[in-house]
């Protein structure tokens, strides 16, 4: 958390705890969505492409689009990321 | 980057009292100052750090070394017990941060990732925790490919950055220096993760209630309720009113109320940082290292008393 921001100086004691739970929820949601893509393909192994598809299909995961599409070679349109461009790219 | 080989070149740092430390370039570059000096060509022989004494520098190097998982050519003269960062290191070693299939690509990717991290490297949580959470969700027969694991790991890191940035913006607007739990939850709501807000508030509430008198908080990335079990203290010393303080607490955080034992931002000279910086007034970014690297996301059961935020 601290390393992610340039100006982040201090973090309260509870913030990481909230984050740990939030990350759990995040992982659960992303995994679940990716798994649904896996099932649609009648497969049993969750692949990176499934994760990428889940990211594409979910609005709130737009900030991840660039991250999952990097190795895939498929560049999504910059217009897809509107107000999620909070972090500098 | 000016230097061609990042991972193998050694940088020599000299502390204010003349002690010399040799570190890998990747480790040294954790410091933006040193990184700039390297790029400017000042690092041909020794980099003098006249503002840092040997003891502090040793700690910083320890931290930096464990913060950069790919810099593993550890110089024996500095590889002490690394008391501060042992847990994080163990977590990484035990978790095998990157499985063989993804090692090469992730290692290279980390070197050239967009500089979300100002030190130029991605810092991941131990992957075992991530995998465990994934397996909880998936059916028994499901398999997860290695690149999927790594991808999700990267996504989580990105997620943390994303939320933290937003929370940080809000803090800056309100002229606050400390990111509170409320800021984090607010940021999530703003960025579209409304579904998380309710559960997180309840989780936070329960956590506060069960830690009324507890001053040592261990942070485990992948676990939630086990934290409560291990940390629960029978005695409740603080007044109940302290714990049920409304979320507006965060706005009154800067002048730390003496009765508060929950969210005490270490804006006052913190004696609790002694074990990190040696003098409580180390480099600026170091002051905010509330965990010294041995908490975030680790899954081991070592429970260091972390009096960083509580008086």
Q: What is the pLDDT of residue A4?
A: 56
Q: Are B296 and A16 in contact (CB under 8 A)?
A: yes
- Assess whether pLDDT exceeds 70 at residue A9: no
CB contact under 8 A, A31 and B152: yes
Q: What is the pLDDT of residue B98?
A: 37
Residue A80 lies in a domain: no
User: Once rounded to an integer, what is the mean pLDDT over residues B109-114?
Assistant: 38
Q: How many domains does chain A have?
A: 1
Q: Which residues pair with A10 in a beta bridge?
A: B178
Q: How far is A11 from chain B (nearest CA, A)?
A: 5
- Assess whether pLDDT exceeds 50 at residue B16: yes
User: Once rounded to an integer, what is the mean pLDDT over residues B137-146?
Assistant: 86
pLDDT tens digits, residue range A48-80? 888 888 888 888 888 888 887 765 554 444 444
B117 interfaces chain A, CB cutoff of 8 Å: yes
B219 interfaces chain A, CB cutoff of 8 Å: yes
Residue A87 lies in a domain: no
Q: Which helix (H) or strand (E) holds B21?
A: strand B20-24
Rounded distance between C-alpha atoms, residue B100 and residue A13, angstroms:
35
Q: What is the pLDDT of residue B62?
A: 79
- Assess whether pLDDT exceeds 50 at residue B80: no
Find the closest chain B residue to A58 by CA distance: B192
- Selecting from A13, A25, A31 the residue whose C-beta is nearest the C-beta of B134 gives A31
Find the closest chain A residue to B108 by CA distance: A71
- Assess whether pLDDT exceeds 50 at residue B60: yes
Residue A31 lies in a domain: yes
Give this prediction's pTM.
Answer: 0.44
Range of the domain at A64: 13-68
A81 interfaces chain B, CB cutoff of 8 Å: no
Residue A84 lies in a domain: no
State both tokens at B133: 């959470």
pLDDT tens digits, residue range B274-306? 444 344 444 444 444 444 444 444 444 444 444
The top-scoring range by mean pLDDT among A27-31, B30-34, B209-213, B256-260 is: A27-31
Q: What is the pLDDT of residue B124?
A: 67
pLDDT-derived band of residue B67, with 50, 70 and 90 as boundaries? low
Rounded distance between C-alpha atoms, residue B256 and residue B264, angstroms:
6
Residue A40 lies in a domain: yes
Domain at A30, CATH number: 1.10.20.10
Burial of B123 (0-12, 13-18, 19+ CB in 10 A): buried
Residue A2 lies in a domain: no
Find the closest chain B residue to A64 by CA distance: B155
- Assess whether pLDDT exceeds 70 at residue B75: no
Residue with tokens 């934290």: B227
Residue A36 lies in a domain: yes
Rounded distance between C-alpha atoms, residue B184 and residue B15, angstroms:
38
Q: How far is B137 from chain A (nearest CA, A)?
A: 6
User: Once rounded to an integer, what is the mean pLDDT over residues B149-154?
Assistant: 88
Residue A60 lies in a domain: yes
A42 interfaces chain B, CB cutoff of 8 Å: no
Rounded distance between C-alpha atoms, residue B143 and residue A35, angstroms:
10
């Amino acid at each position: 958390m601290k390393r992610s921001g340039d100006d982040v100086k201090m973090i309260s004691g509870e913030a990481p705890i909230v984050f740990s739970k939030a990350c759990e929820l995040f992982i659960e949601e992303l995994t679940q969505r990716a798994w649904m893509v896996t099932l649609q393909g009648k497969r049993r192994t969750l692949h990176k492409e499934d994760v990428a598809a889940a990211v594409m299909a979910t609005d709130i995961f737009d900030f991840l689009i660039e991250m999952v599409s990097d190795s895939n070679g498929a560049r999504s349109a910059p217009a897809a990321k509107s107000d999620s461009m909070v972090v500098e790219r | 980057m000016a230097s061609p080989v990042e991972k193998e070149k050694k940088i020599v740092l000299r502390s204010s009292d003349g002690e010399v430390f040799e570190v890998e370039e990747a480790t040294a570059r954790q410091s933006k100052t040193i990184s700039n000096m390297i790029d400017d060509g000042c690092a041909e022989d020794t980099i003098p750090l006249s503002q840092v004494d040997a003891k502090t520098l040793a700690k910083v190097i320890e931290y930096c070394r464990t913060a950069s998982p790919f810099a593993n050519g550890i110089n024996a003269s500095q590889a002490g017990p690394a008391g501060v960062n042992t847990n994080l290191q163990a977590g990484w070693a035990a978790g095998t941060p990157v499985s063989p299939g993804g090692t090469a690509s992730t290692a290279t990717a980390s070197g050239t990732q967009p500089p979300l991290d100002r030190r130029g490297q991605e810092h991941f949580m131990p992957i075992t925790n991530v995998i465990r959470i994934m397996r909880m969700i998936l059916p028994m027969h499901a398999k997860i490919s290695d690149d999927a694991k790594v991808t999700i790991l990267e996504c989580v890191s990105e997620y943390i950055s994303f939320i933290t940035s937003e929370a940080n913006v809000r803090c800056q607007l309100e002229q606050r220096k400390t990111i509170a739990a409320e800021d984090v939850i607010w940021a999530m709501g703003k960025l579209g993760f409304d579904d998380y807000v309710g559960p997180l508030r309840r989780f936070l509430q329960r956590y506060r209630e069960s830690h009324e008198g507890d001053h040592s908080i261990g942070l485990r990335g992948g676990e939630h309720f086990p934290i409560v079990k291990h940390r629960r203290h029978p005695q409740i010393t603080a007044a109940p009113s302290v714990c049920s303080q409304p979320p507006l607490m965060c706005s009154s955080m800067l002048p730390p109320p003496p009765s508060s034992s929950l969210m005490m931002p270490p804006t006052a000279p913190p004696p609790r940082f002694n074990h990190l910086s040696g003098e409580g007034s180390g480099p600026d970014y170091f002051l905010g290292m509330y965990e010294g690297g041995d908490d975030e996301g680790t899954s081991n059961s070592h429970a260091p008393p972390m009096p960083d935020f509580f008086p």
